Structure 1
Amino acid sequence: MPSTLRIIPLGGLGEIGKNMIAIEYKNDIIVIDAGLMFPESDMLGINAILPDYSYLKDKRDKVRALLLTHGHEDHVGAIPHFLEDINVPVYGTKLTIGLVEVKLREAKLLKNAQLNIIQSGDKFQIGPFKIEPFHVTHSIPDCVGFGITTPVGLIVHTGDYKFDHTPPYGEPPDFAKLAEFSKRGVLCLLADSTNATRPGWTKSEKRVGEAFEDVFREAKGRIIVATFASLISRVQQVAEMAQKYGRKLAITGRSMRDNTKMARRLGFLNIPDDLLIDIEQVSNLPPHKVVVMATGSQGEPTAVMGRLARGRHHRLRVQEGDTIVFSAYPIPGNEESVYRIINMLFRRGANVLYEGVANVHVSGHASQEEMKLMINLVRPKFLVPVHGELRHLKEHARLAMDMGIPEKNIAVVENGTPLELTRHSLEIKPRLPGGYVFVDGTEVGEVVWSVMREREELAQSGFFMALVGLSKKGNLSGTPEFVSRGFVDMKRADELLEGAKETIANVISMHGRNPDKLEKKLEDALSRYLYGETGKRPFVKVVLK
């Protein structure tokens, strides 16, 4: 009699980003995707957030493989970190592996990586799991979902998908394979929930090409297109428009240049050599003869669009008459940064097109009617909504119940909550300990929430430091010195500083002969004083000397 199958969501459930799911049977584990998440605006100093895969570190000798659905950052961005900890064979399509190679080469990990190219229609065995990748359409080419035959039953993972009948590149979705899975009987469907709150059908990527036709026909000056570095299909669409309208194409942003070079080598981009120019050559051509593709569509301050908006790009400047296109939706949490960049570009004289004012981007995720169609095609016994905030997962569950799946057969869970499957049951187990793993410069996992709260406190009210001399007898020695940043203008704070000196003198006169905890008493007293005088609570530090 088969044992239970465990499904452990480690990222992407209850949030948008850092997708990772582990499937475990006895002594064998396979992992699907290893993505990262972009930090929210209040996560100061953080570069990225990784899934918490501590569960896998404790069982690393049981992890057999990492399967990749496609090459977007929220599915492959954590791979360099993951392989440093758990170096297992990686399976992905030709383009996905190409994008991963770029990352691993940069991280100096490519030499030891075990990369395996697969394609839709393949069948291969990993331990007790028979893997069948199937073609899906998304906003990037060469995407797959996975049919996984386990000793307990057939699991189908959709990956990111939409039912695009007219994709500009590649084939339509593999409806026949989904129907075949249904005939064999699907125990559990793990399905993309990102657009569960959007009624209707998601527009085809072909619509973006039509919108770009209008942009290129009407623009009198330069065109600058911002998108994700991995959005290869958008690069091809822009290249085709550039060729049609007699413009040269420059690509700026290291990650986008590297990905473009790789995709051309593998045959996923068809761009003539004479169409491409270096970014330094842009200023030598008339504005109506140039189009630039750039990174920074998510408002990242150090990416190309962020530097352009602030006038800090050393090879490119925004000019009056430029048309700038943001061909990407803001990732949840990035909206404020994106719209700030857009406003700054408007101030520099550009005409900016973005979601809501032009059809220059469409979602790569299924809307409600496509989700219903997926359920009808696959007809699973159990459903686990994945890839979405809790509100998306809940709405996906409601749609499934409308389609006839009993509520008891649907598991709405968040990261770290294991599921146990048998042929006849789905059980939700207690949540495992875990949380966010912050990437802070070169440090991974070293920054914890207490540090984040300190950074937030510093950002809101600044800091105030007092250097206080103390004699051997416990008396105040000399005049206290003060250092402050982000709190008050020290040149105009004479009265405030005099009061701070008095506060220090009073505390030392009372407690100076008992130096234990004197620093803490001084800090508490200064905090109360400064709040009373200014209504602000800076981070206060006292150093006795």
Structure 2
Amino acid sequence: MKDNNKIKDVSMTTLGGVGEIGKNMWVLEIGDEMLIIDSGVKFPENDLLGIDLVIPDFDYVIKNKDKINGIVLTHGHLDHIGALPYLLKEINAPIYGTKLTLGLLEGNLKEHRLLKDTRLKVVNSGKKYQVGSFEVEFIRVNHSIADTCALAIHTPLGPIVYASDFKFDQTPIDGQVADFHKLAELGDSEEGVLALFSDSTNVEREGYTLSEKVVGETVEEIFRGARERIIVATFASNIHRVQQIVDAAFKYNRKIAFTGRSMINNVDIARRLGYLQVPDDMIVDIRDCSDLPDSKVTLLTTGSQGEPYAALTRMARGDHYHINIKKGDTVMISASAIPGNEKFVGQTINKLYRRGANVIYEDVSGVHVSGHASQEELKLMLNLVKPKYFVPVHGEYRHLYKHADLAEKNGIPKDNIYIADVGDKINFSEDKVSKAEKIQSGDVLIDGLGIGDVGNIVLRDRKLLSEDGIIIVVVTIDKHGNILVGPDIITRGFVYIRESEELIESATKRVERALKDCEENNVTEWSVLKDTIRKSLNNYIYQKIKRNPMILPVIMEV
């Protein structure tokens, strides 16, 4: 950052990623200039009916878009880059990230037809870059995706270290150990680290997170013992995991096929950029697997989270286009369930067993290790960086509070620890950390091509429809308000009409009587007629069958 003696305060504003899993986005401000750190999505929970994605509220950055120097990315997971196509429709700023991170982002930008107009700047870990007036260092750390970096952003009060999602893997698959030296150098520098923002996801786990190499040993053991087809479901972005599966298949003379859109896309990107090595003659089309002996087939697929339309889930149901599970298959689910997905994963496992598969998953075998730091690694990060202030990030509130407690026990004064809520603008000065203000923030819901057009009222209606269905009452009137045709009652998701004719007939008569009263009293206002129809049915339906369907009057004038 340029030297400016007038600048005293530095602020960080969170637009997501605290008190929740996903939707990570921060804005650093110094004077009249801004730097955006990540912009991710969150996947919808069960109560968000029909919603595809959840993104941050961009109102604050849109209002200040002339101040934005650029966007810096820590890694290529969707909870850190998935919202960028939506953000870039509102602002135009250069994006800085490592080669794989930008390679994965390009795919998203192509889908939104934004790639041509987006300025992508490839960076290398271990280097400093000038992003407008901000000086940013990209520091190599380990995670469940290659090319992950922590950030050191230099400010007039000292560097801010944003530790991203990370762990310290002493034996990483690609041999790229985290840059302990740079982290320690920052911590031991004369100015010292102003603040550390650190991953809290695994703060409840004692000890150290296991190395990714442990999975490789388990995978090889499974391949050695399997006699029929091997089907592996894992996160498509975990290129190191994919490489270990490919290596095991190669060692045991198996061909490999890829299925699932994200798996195919990510494998293509990783191979093109040199992050994944798969011999061309080893890859087969999924449609040709039936021509090979089962003992020579390995299938790498999406669906580790039990998503209804993912490839593994379809195989388990028996409605995949090309491959279905059969007796003797070995199915390996090499991932842990994201919070909220446990039920879907369990259902998929049960269906796999019913079809005769031998299922291997995290609870019964070491086929997955986390990409997030456990307690001892979190302590090590604190001890290396030695920050003046500490802000736990990347986790639900219980994770943030436990991480704050861990930091306090590790020597950070309680007054120097800030637990953030989404929308907090955190102000750092030479003598304290405090909330400067609360800015507009929250969730924006994506449903198909609609962005933010589904709110609480629409979700409430969807919930009501899903629980009790709908009754549509159609009435035709003339211009004087006289009833010409109807009322006719149509239902969906309420009752099976052929078995409830008496109930529907009785409901129709109640509406007729209510409308007759309106006609006799010269009531012709549509809103009054509609309200009369609703009132005539609400209590009656509930008294009869204890249900509260949505009642939708439709009045037509001829």
Tell me, yes or no, if the aligned pair for 1:475 and 1:508 is still in contact at 8 Å: no
The DSSP-based 3-state class of the residue aligned with 2:89 is: helix
Mapped partners of 2:408, 2:161: distance in 1: 19
What amino acid sits opposite 2:135 in the alignment?
Answer: K
- Of the three residues 57, 65, 90, the one matched with 1:60 is 65
Mapped partners of 1:490, 1:155: distance in 2: 65
What amino acid sits opposite 2:441 in the alignment?
Answer: G
The DSSP-based 3-state class of the residue aligned with 1:30 is: strand
Between the two proteins, the alignment pairs up a number of residues equal to 545
The DSSP-based 3-state class of the residue aligned with 2:12 is: strand
The DSSP-based 3-state class of the residue aligned with 2:430 is: coil
Match of 1:251 in 2: 258
Give matches, 1:429-508, under 5 Å.
Answer: 429-470=436-477, 474=481, 476-508=483-515
- Cα 1:287/1:524, change in 2 over 3 Å: farther
RMSD over aligned Cα, in angstroms? 1.5
Q: Is 2:554 aligned against 1:543? A: yes
Match of 2:536 in 1: 525
Q: Is 2:187 aligned against 1:187? A: no
Mapped partners of 1:130, 1:270: distance in 2: 34
What amino acid sits opposite 2:552 in the alignment?
Answer: K
Match of 1:514 in 2: 523
Q: Is 2:126 aligned against 1:126? A: no
Give 1:473 shift: 5.9
Mapped partners of 1:255, 1:263: distance in 2: 12
Tell me, yes or no, if the aligned pair for 1:474 and 1:508 is still in contact at 8 Å: no
The DSSP-based 3-state class of the residue aligned with 2:373 is: coil
What amino acid sits opposite 1:259 in the alignment?
Answer: N
Match of 1:156 in 2: 161
Tell me, yes or no, if the aligned pair for 1:168 and 1:206 is still in contact at 8 Å: yes
What amino acid sits opposite 1:102 in the alignment?
Answer: G
Give 1:36 shift: 0.8
Q: Is 2:11 aligned against 1:6? A: yes
Mapped partners of 1:28, 1:543: distance in 2: 54
- Of the three residues 122, 141, 150, the one matched with 1:136 is 141
* Cα deviation 1:203-243 (Å, max 9, x = unaligned): 11111111111221222221111122211111111100100
- Of the three residues 112, 118, 134, the one matched with 1:113 is 118
Mapped partners of 1:448, 1:310: distance in 2: 33
Q: Is 2:344 aligned against 1:337? A: yes
Comparing 131-140 with 194-203, greater Cα deviation is found at: 194-203
Structure 1 unmatched runs, 5+: none
What amino acid sits opposite 1:65 in the alignment?
Answer: G
So what's the TM-score if we normalise by structure 2?
A: 0.95
Match of 1:324 in 2: 331
Mapped partners of 1:489, 1:349: distance in 2: 37
Mapped partners of 1:38, 1:349: distance in 2: 31
Q: Is 2:80 aligned against 1:75? A: yes
Give 1:475 shift: 5.2
Mapped partners of 1:107, 1:148: distance in 2: 30
The DSSP-based 3-state class of the residue aligned with 1:186 is: coil
Match of 2:545 in 1: 534
Give 1:170 shift: 3.2
The DSSP-based 3-state class of the residue aligned with 2:269 is: helix
* Cα deviation 1:102-154 (Å, max 9, x = unaligned): 22223221111111111111112223321111110111111110111112221
Give matches, 1:87-236, under 5 Å.
Answer: 87-184=92-189, 185-236=192-243
Mapped partners of 1:124, 1:294: distance in 2: 37
Comparing 303-312 with 81-90, greater Cα deviation is found at: 303-312
Tell me, yes or no, if the aligned pair for 1:385 and 1:397 is still in contact at 8 Å: yes
Mapped partners of 1:474, 1:62: distance in 2: 59
Give 1:539 shift: 1.2
Match of 1:422 in 2: 429
What amino acid sits opposite 2:69 in the alignment?
Answer: R
Match of 1:356 in 2: 363
Tell me, yes or no, if the aligned pair for 2:57 and 2:440 is still in contact at 8 Å: no
Q: Is 2:53 aligned against 1:35? A: no
User: Could you tell me the percent identity over the aligned residues?
Assistant: 46
Tell me, yes or no, if the aligned pair for 2:187 and 2:385 is still in contact at 8 Å: yes
Tell me, yes or no, if the aligned pair for 1:128 and 1:150 is still in contact at 8 Å: no
Structure 2 unmatched runs, 5+: 1-5
Give 1:423 shift: 2.2
Mapped partners of 2:524, 2:348: distance in 1: 51
The DSSP-based 3-state class of the residue aligned with 2:407 is: helix
Match of 1:242 in 2: 249
Give 1:433 shift: 2.5
The DSSP-based 3-state class of the residue aligned with 2:437 is: coil
* Cα deviation 1:415-434 (Å, max 9, x = unaligned): 11110111222111332232
Mapped partners of 1:143, 1:472: distance in 2: 69
